[in-house]
Amino acid sequence: MRFARILGTGSYLPERVLTNADLEQLVDTSDAWIRERTGIEKRHLVSEGETCCDLAEQAAWRALAAAKLDPTQLDLILVATTTPDQFFPSTACLLQQRLDVHGCPAFDLQAVCAGFVYALDIADKYIRTGAARYVLVVGAETISRLVDWTDRTTCVLFGDGAGAVVLGASDTPGILSAHLHADGGYASLLQVPGGHGNGQPQRAFIEMRGNEVFRFAVTTLGRIVDEALDYNGLTKDDIDWLIPHQANIRIIQATARKLDLPMERVIVTVAEHGNTSSASIPLALDQAIRDGRIQRGETLLMEAFGGGFAWGAVLARY
């Protein structure tokens, strides 16, 4: 039986940094309030002319190097993003060109903050069915370009970045299972309402009803943790590392309590880059692998929740 295993990871953050002190000069907020309510200390933002594909490319090369894989060996390229460079072609096709890869399928996936776990599930299924041997999965966002920098409730939250994973076929289990859900009935609670498709491009900024999103996220993530563990016949004690979407430290802490996991076993990077949407889990995963915390053979639970609402979890053995 074929399984999909993580062969290498990579990540990239743009050089420009916006601190909480910088935000104090833009809107009525404070460093203390932002840290207490979100856990965020700074975020990285793209510079003028820097694109989502630029970030994705840097992360992809680093993941390919870690996997010791030539890009021409790839059978599929997936880019999870809410902020593509163009309406078309896809950012995945633009990335494919940069990697000098020709012929394999390449496409974008849009599930906002849950995009990376959605993309992992697709990659896993391609590999399990024999349709692919090596897959590049990238989460990349320039989400600061969807931020209304006069809205103090949202502008403190978001940053830009990219993370990537190379998956390869193996006889040893890697991705154990994925559990994906969505409910469009909650779309108005977290959305960018404008776009060319509905003739309202002037409304292309993030709108969020934060308290309602927070309550739904905490409840939903707790349920999906149970779903993933029950499906695999595992208990909370079997989880070595929780790698959550880095949206808000309070949501992360609530999920850790649900698992009875000490925060020492939770990968937390939200302070360093804020909410980078689909990039946040692969950014955190790459950091923890490269600094030696995550070791081969350990069991990882990755979970995310975002606009749609869309949410999901992936249980994997690294």
Residues annotated as catalytic (active site), given as ranges: 113, 245, 275
d(CA 193, CA 16): 28
| Strands (E) located in 133-270 | 134-141, 161-170, 175-182, 190-191, 207-208, 241-244
d(CA 147, CA 288): 28
Other beta carbons within 10 Å of 145: 14
What would the two tokens of residue 18 be? 């916006």
Q: How many CA atoms lie within 13 A of 10 on its CB side?
A: 24
Number of residues written out for the chain: 318
Other beta carbons within 10 Å of 182: 17
3-state secondary structure of 80: strand
